[in-house]
Amino acid sequence: MIRFRPLLKQSKNIELVNISFRIMLSGLMKRVFDIAVALIGLILLSPFFVFIAILIKQDSPGPVFYWGPRFGLRGVIFKMLKFRTMYETPKSYQGLRVTSKEDDRITPLGAWLRDTKLNELPQLWNVLIGEMSLVGPRPEDPSIARTWPAKIASEILSVRPGVTSPASVLYRDEESMLQAGEVMRKYLHELSPDKMRLDQLYVRYRSFWLDLDVMLWTALLLMPKIRSYSPPEQMLFVGPVTRLIQRYVIWFIWDFLIVFCSIVFTGAFVRIFGPLNIGWLMAVKMALGCSLLYSATGLLLNTNRINWAKASSWESGRLWMSWFVATIILVGYHFYSGITSLRFYGVILGASILSFFGILIIRYRGQLISGLLSWVLTHRLNASVIRERVLIVGSGRTAENIAWLMGHPTYSEKFQIAGFIDDDPFSQGMKIYGSKVIGSVKDIQKIIQCHDIGLIILADNQMALNKYREFRDTANFSPARIVVAPDIFGSLSGLDGVTVNNEAEDNLNNFQCQHCLARYAQQKIQE
C-alpha cells in the first residue's frame, strides 16, 4: 500500500497570506486613525486641560497628573497618564490598587472626574506616542495582571491596550459595583474574569468598525439621560456602525460599481450599431438610482440579513425579486419621463441583466472561488500527487455528504474517493456523487488490494447493521482503516417517534466500540 504523504497546503498558505495582509492593513489603519484622533484631540482639548489643571490645584495640593504603571503591548510596563483624583498622601500610593465609590483617598473633584471619565482624557498622549490605542483591552495594574492565567495574558497583551474597550462600556460603573471591605475579593473573583473574557473577545474579533462601535457606545453612555442603559453584549461587538457598514454601505458600494460598469459596457456595445449619448453624469445617476432601488427592495426582502458567504443557493431568489422590481421601476420612470429611444431602453435592460449576474457573483463569490479552487486542486492532485484513497460504503444521504466533504479544499488535498460500495445491482458501474459504484460489500477485500484503499468510511447505517458480522473483524480489511460516519439523518428521523431495533442498535454500538479499539491498536502499532 502506498503510504499517504503530507502535502503542501497551497490553498491554506494563500488564505494565511490574505489573513496576514488584512491584519497588517487593519493595524496600519488603526494606528493612523489613533495618531490623527489623538493629535486633534490634544490640540482641541488643551484649553480644557488647562481649566481642569487649575481646578485640581485648587482642590488639593499635589501634581496635576498621575502616572500609573500598567502592563502594555507584549507585557511591557509603561506609565499611563491620568488627571490626579486622589489626595497626594502615602496612603493613596500604598492602598488597594482597585477603588470603590466610598474610597476616602479620592478628592471631591476627583470623584466628579472619575464619574464623568474626564480623568482618562490625558491618555490621548499615550495613544499619540504608541503606548496605547483608542480602543483595546484596558491596561491593568502589574500586580493584578500577574495573577492572570498565562494563556489569557498572552492573548490580551498581544494588542495595544486602549483608552476604552467593550469591557469598559459594560463596567463603566465598576466603582459602584465594589463595596468597601471586599473590594479586591469581588474584583478578582467576579469582575476581573468577565472583563478578561470580554477582552479576549475583542482581540479575536477586532476590526476598524468594531473600534468605531466601541467609541460610539462610550460617547453615548456618558450622556446623563442614557447612562443607565446597558447594551446587550452582542451589540458591543456587532454594533450600529458595524451593522450599517457590513449590511448596507458595503453592498451599496458594490452594487453601484457593478451597475455603473454594466451601463458603461452596455452603452459602448450599443453605440456600435448607432448613435447614443448617455454621458458620464447620466450613467452615474442611473447607477445611483439602480443601487438605491436594489438596496430598498433588498431591505424589504431582508437580503441584508443574509450571510452570503454561507448562504444556500435558493436565497438567490430574493436577489432575483429585488432585481426584477428595481428594473420595472427604472424602466417605468424613464418611460413616464418621455424617453422613447429604443437604444436607451436597450442599455437599461442590458445593463440590468449584466448587473444581476454581477451582483449574484459578488454575493456568492466565496462559494464560487472555493468551488473553483476545489476543482483545480482536485484535477491537479489527480495528476501529480498521491493521496489516501477512500472507499465509501453506502449511497444514501450520508454518503452524499461525505462525498461533498471530500471535495472541499480542506480534505481534497489529503483524500481521493476511489469509489462507492452499494449492494443494489442496478447501481453497479454507475456514477454517483462524482464517483463510480465499483462493487458490493462482498467485493471490499478484493477492492482494497486492487484500488490501494487506505480508508473505508461506513456511510450507510442500515448496511452496517445488516452486514454487522462482515465488518466486525476490522483486521480482515487491513491495511485499510474503517471509520463509521454518524447517521445524522437517521437520528433526525428518530425524533418523530420512530423506534430502532434494540438488538441491532446494540450490535452497532458493539461494532463501533470494536472499531475504536482496532483504531487505537493500529495507532499504537504505528507509534
- 48-70: burial string, b at 16+ Cβ within 10 Å, e else: ebeebeeebeebbebeebbeeeb
Pick from 330, 336, 328, 353: which is nearest to 282 by CA? 330
Alpha helical stretches, state H, 277-364: 280-300, 316-336, 342-363
Distance (Å, whole) CA 322 – CA 290: 11
CATH architecture of 386-526: 3-Layer(aba) Sandwich (3.40)
DSSP run (H or E) holding 435: strand 435-439
- pTM, whole model, 2 decimals? 0.70
What is the pLDDT tens value at each position of the chain, 527 positions in all? 334 334 334 445 555 555 666 677 778 889 999 999 999 999 999 999 999 999 999 999 999 999 999 999 999 999 999 999 999 888 888 877 788 877 889 999 999 999 889 999 999 999 999 999 999 999 999 989 998 999 999 999 999 999 999 999 988 888 777 766 677 888 888 888 999 999 999 999 898 999 999 999 999 888 877 877 888 888 888 889 988 998 889 999 999 999 999 988 888 888 777 776 777 888 888 889 888 988 888 888 888 888 887 788 888 888 898 888 888 988 888 788 887 777 778 888 888 999 999 999 999 888 787 777 666 666 665 555 578 889 999 888 888 888 888 877 677 778 889 999 988 888 888 888 888 899 888 888 889 888 889 899 988 877 766 666 667 666 777 788 888 887 776 666 655 554 444 544 454 455 454 444 444 444 443 44
Pick from 100, 111, 118: which is nearest to 53 by CA? 118
Q: Grid coordinates 492602598 are at which residue?
A: 95
In three-state secondary structure terms, 135 is strand
Distance (Å, whole) CA 145 – CA 303: 45
Contact 195, 188 (CB under 8 A): no
DSSP 109-120: HHHHHHHHTGGG
Residue-range domain boundaries for the chain: 35-238, 243-363, 386-526
Distance (Å, whole) CA 439 – CA 430: 10
What is the 3-state composition of the chain as percent helix, strand, coil, each rounded to the nearest 5?
Answer: 65, 10, 25
